[in-house]
A and B are shown apart, each in its own frame.
Chain A
Amino acid sequence: MIELDKIKPKKWQGKGESLTRFRELGMLATIVVISLLVQMRNPNYLTFENINDLLTNTAILSILSVGMMLVIVTRGIDLSIGSVLALSGMISALAVSANPNLHPLTAMLIGTVVGTASGAVVGLLISKGGLLPIIASLGMMNVYRGLTYMISGGRWVSAYQMPESFKYIATGRIFGINILVFIAVIIYIIAFYFVNYTRTGRQIYAVGSNPESAKISGINNSRIYFLVYTIMGALSGLAGVLWVSKFASAQGDTATGYEMSVIAACVLGGVSMAGGSGKISGIVMGSILLGIINNALPLINVSPFWQQAIQGVIILSSVIINTVVKRRVDKNNLMRRKI
């Protein structure tokens, strides 16, 4: 049995692997080329300070894309994360402004708990209620956004209401590197282990690539659905605290529409909306690529109004190139089989 397990994935990976490798090499090449071009125009680009900046700005996006990857792998989608982020950010900001002596870790815990609970509700609606993910998360998106406004009474929590210790979460540095980057790296290491080396992690992929056969082979599908949306919620909650700490302000409309950027990072990172595939290394590069676009364009004097369109064109062309290459690979595989 153990041997069978070992042989099968290898055989199966055979043709898929080359494609993923092409994808990742392509992404890496894109990142390198863009970096070199920008560096030629503006030598300030590849400096420690700027790269630290770039990574700090990408950290929140990349944390969220871990959760979104798990959701998309199970063929789902979560539109509520922008609202969950705002809600948990607002609650933790209100908590620290009410008691300034609150330890920053407690604030992070509060945000994460709020996010976990919000994610669990979405997960319950999907796993037990049988709602389609897009509907459940769309509905709850409105609910959480409304709650954020209600709790704050429409007011902002601004920088002067937050203690220094809280703002330190996003401004502090360890060995010169921003704390946000450390948090993102830790989450990525945990996620990498979880997705590749634990039973539950593999079950997520099994459910995503074929829900029926996953069920037949004894996987509790609804448990997996519930789990991924709860993880997504927890990460959004954490990201909410980090967001509020970074921008030193919590507003009712924080992160409106941010879910689209996160989905875009996943798609750019090669996570298939059809479910069952997606790699941690892919979404790292997906979010970094998005981060580079946002960071580099101002450096080479591209008007900020061009950013969105350029971002869109890069996302669209990357998914299209990927499809075209995949078609060619599949065709070659078919021809080989004929001979």
Chain B
Amino acid sequence: MDERKITGHREFSLKRFFFQWEWMLVLIFIIINIINSFLSPYYLNLRQLISTTATFLDKAFVVLPMTFVILLGDIDISVASTIALSSVIMGVLYNLGVPMAAAALICLVVSTLCGFFNGYLITRFKELSSVIITLSTSIIYRGIAYIILEDQAAGNFPSWFSFLGWGELGGIPLMLIAFAVFAVAFAILLHKTTFGRRVYAIGNNATASRFSGIQVDKIKIIIFTMVGFMCGVTSLFLTSRMGSTRPNVALGYELDIIAMVVLGGVSTAGGKGRIGGAILAVFVIGFLRYGLGLINVPSQLLLIIIGALLVTAVLISKIRMNVKKVRTVPSDIKQ
């Protein structure tokens, strides 16, 4: 694994290509779809399948930059609160008479600022882990949302705004299109640019990266700010779908989002994993939820299944890695 990272390019090997976590996810994805279509005759309906993506894609926007954060070896627990705060501010401003477009813009600005604040604190106080900082900012952000809106709700958004979450272009939900655009952009950023390579370098060894001239702090701040921005995007779509907003929206999203990234094969130790895996994991969990919902599996059982899937998936990847290690040791000695 590490070897590849250092040398950059290696000879293409079919075996190695198929011996990847993503294929495991593709396999799980296919199995889920087969089982689902056997269990429910209503499942295999392409139109329905495509439009159902809009029900779970709201979180997926944050999964993209969260992959970067976890690749750095950090974590961001404050995403759900950022979504709530920006959504609440947008709702309140609109109800105060601010035009919707301006309110939506302010929502993005607020969430971006929240992300920047996290990044600033994390780089300014390096002794503190990102867990503590984002944990306390998550309490603060949601706390501010409660101060602003107390136990009220804000809503009555204009109809064009609800088109954002419910609208379709040629049968494809607007949300899916937006997600595809963002996914491609983030994938290029991570896998085709120097910035992306630096993220991996920092995740593998922050000190060594700093000594080799990478501006670790700058990259960290940029990434946390990106997380904030994408929280704003999620907030727009989520609020649009719900039609109103309360301070307790998106409760528990942070753990769902982290679970998706980890299921996508991104190691929380940092420096390992690809964005494709995380995107696949979004759809695996999404379709699993949809399919089981069709056959009336209670959502509680779904919790158990997703939790067990997360744990076993990572366990399997651990075992695979150990097998790989044993296999590669002799060849290393030969060299």
- Which residues of A approach B to under 8 Å, CB–CB? 77, 79, 125, 129-132, 134-136, 138-147, 149-150, 154, 252, 256-257, 260, 263-264, 267, 273-274, 303, 305-313, 315-316, 319-320, 323, 326-327
B-chain residues with CB within 8 Å of residue A136 when the two chains form the complex: 311, 314
Given contacts A308-B143, A311-B139, contact A150 B301 (CB under 8 A): yes
Q: Is B142 an interface residue (CB 8 A)?
A: yes
B140 x A319 contact (CB < 8 A): no
Can you add 4 more A-B contacts, CB < 8 Å, to A135-B311, A142-B310? Answer: A125-B311, A267-B132, A310-B143, A313-B143
Shortest CB distance A176–B (Å) = 34
Shortest CB distance A281–B (Å) = 20
B135 x A143 contact (CB < 8 A): no
A-chain residues with CB within 8 Å of residue B258 when the two chains form the complex: 134, 138
Partner pick for B137 among A138, A145, A256, A312, CB 8 A cutoff: A312
Shortest CB distance B162–A (Å) = 28
Shortest CB distance B148–A (Å) = 9
Complex Cα spacing A263 to B131, Å? 10
Query: Which of B122-130, B183-191, B233-241 makes up part of the contact surface?
Result: B122-130
Q: Look across to chain B and name the residue whose beta carbon is closest to the beta carbon of A273.
A: B129
Given contacts A77-B131, A138-B255, A145-B303, contact A306 B143 (CB under 8 A): yes
B144 x A309 contact (CB < 8 A): yes
B139 x A308 contact (CB < 8 A): yes
Q: Look across to chain B and name the residue whose beta carbon is closest to the beta carbon of A75.
A: B129
Contact size range, B: 35 or more
Q: Look across to chain A and name the residue whose beta carbon is closest to the beta carbon of B318.
A: A130
Q: Is B75 an interface residue (CB 8 A)?
A: yes
Partner pick for B255 among A79, A150, A313, CB 8 A cutoff: A79
B-chain residues with CB within 8 Å of residue A257 when the two chains form the complex: 251-252
Given contacts A136-B311, A138-B310, A309-B144, contact A264 B135 (CB under 8 A): yes
Partner pick for B307 among A141, A309, A326, CB 8 A cutoff: A141
Q: Look across to chain A and name the residue whose beta carbon is closest to the beta carbon of B304.
A: A146
Partner pick for A139 among B251, B252, B310, CB 8 A cutoff: B310
Q: Look across to chain A and name the residue whose beta carbon is closest to the beta carbon of B251.
A: A257
B133 x A316 contact (CB < 8 A): yes
Q: Is B147 an interface residue (CB 8 A)?
A: yes
Given contacts A256-B252, A308-B142, A312-B140, contact A142 B303 (CB under 8 A): yes
Shortest CB distance B286–A (Å) = 16
Shortest CB distance B69–A (Å) = 13
Q: Look across to chain B and name the residue whose beta carbon is closest to the beta carbon of A317.
A: B136
Within B244-259, the residues touching A (CB, 8 Å) are 251-252, 255, 258-259
Q: Is B298 an interface residue (CB 8 A)?
A: yes
A-chain residues with CB within 8 Å of residue B308 when the two chains form the complex: 139, 143
20 example contacts (A-B, Cβ-Cβ < 8 A) are as follows: A79-B255, A130-B318, A132-B267, A138-B259, A142-B306, A142-B310, A143-B303, A145-B300, A149-B300, A149-B303, A150-B300, A260-B135, A264-B139, A267-B136, A274-B129, A315-B136, A315-B139, A316-B140, A326-B127, A327-B127
A-chain residues with CB within 8 Å of residue B305 when the two chains form the complex: 146
